[in-house]
Structure 1
């Protein structure tokens, strides 16, 4: 499954208000240079313990001890670009497993939202709830949603405070990391434009390179 094609289909459905909000947010994120604050290749990846869609705690330290760990931050099940990305990852899931890699996806969505999203889109991925945005903050990919975008999302019926269980509206930048067994980041993708995601084929290439180096 090709994410870029899915992205093009979604962008083609944009109306004037959508384009205005999209351009505002992307330009605002770039102007504040949030991506430059994110962890990158060579940095130590902070370990974490988060609940999955069924409430079971998942340890990143344990997963990376089993093999390379792929961590993908996404905005939530309400975002069509995020669900398109997850569907693309789902289609490549067997290839990740063949490379002995653990793939986890993190969202600030809490309560029943991760489980409902998995069911609605037929996903068999490890979806973790980044409760109180702690992991996104530790990776440097978190930003506070500007008032203009909060108003726009509210007009669409999207209440991030309710979904996240907090009155403070915050979101992660789209970011994907490949972490080795020692906890070092070996590949990083951080993007200001929330419609752009790393293709699974690129993540798999990074995993194959890591395997060859090992």
Structure 2
């Protein structure tokens, strides 16, 4: 009986360790090139349910994860993507950007860009991609406000994933330093070379 109880405690500990968020952005374990993305139902800025898999099946996708519309570095990155949108579309890709912001809070960003913005306020897809980490204490109040208290204290590491229509990751750029983002020039070059 003691042996069985010991095994149960070990299995519970392992399961908890696998679901616990990494403590910092440098401890994440993102999906790798060649892996399939998980499906998730997210919300649009109009609060409509959107299947990520269905969206990606329509067109090859540049999938961008950002911290939120409250982040000035994210806003600069999203604006740069908006400026390069025609070039990106010309390579045969669509842009989809995902953040923990609520659909209502996406609207302020949506006014500045034309591409698709999706809300993952509970972080289900962000966590499935392996890019969520425990938010520093000083970010928790702004995160709670912008996720309508759905976000329990995580942030995504800003990331760019290039996804084929079958859901396979063919390129990724993940930077634990939120101040460093992939340039649109590099992104367009990568997309042209992936053809």
TM more than 0.5? yes
> How far apart, CA to CA, are the structure 1 residues paired with 2:105 and 2:93?
26
- Unmatched 5+ residue regions in structure 2? 1-23
Q: How does 1:53-202 map to 2 (within 5 A)?
A: 53-119=45-111, 122-147=112-137, 150=138, 153=139, 159-164=142-147, 165-166=149-150, 168-202=152-186
Provide the aligned length of Structure 1 versus Structure 2. 172
CA contact (8 A) 2:43 2:103 kept: no
User: What displacement does 1:64 show?
Assistant: 2.4
> How far apart, CA to CA, are the structure 1 residues paired with 2:74 and 2:34?
26
Structure exhibiting the larger radius of gyration computed from Cα positions? 2
1:130-167 deviations in Å (ceiling 9; x for gaps): 130001000000011133xx2xx47xxx5211211236
Q: What is the TM-score when the length of structure 1 is the normalising length?
A: 0.74
CA contact (8 A) 2:41 2:49 kept: yes
> How far apart, CA to CA, are the structure 2 residues paired with 1:57 and 1:100?
25
1:24-52 deviations in Å (ceiling 9; x for gaps): xxxx533xx22xx1112111111222111
The structure where helix makes up a greater share of residues is 1
CA contact (8 A) 1:161 1:168 kept: yes
Runs of 4 or more above 4 Å deviation: none
1:66-89 deviations in Å (ceiling 9; x for gaps): 221111000001100000000000
User: Secondary structure of the equivalent of 2:113?
Assistant: coil
User: What displacement does 1:209 show?
Assistant: 2.0
What's the RMSD between the two structures over aligned residues? 1.9
Q: What is the TM-score when the length of structure 2 is the normalising length?
A: 0.81
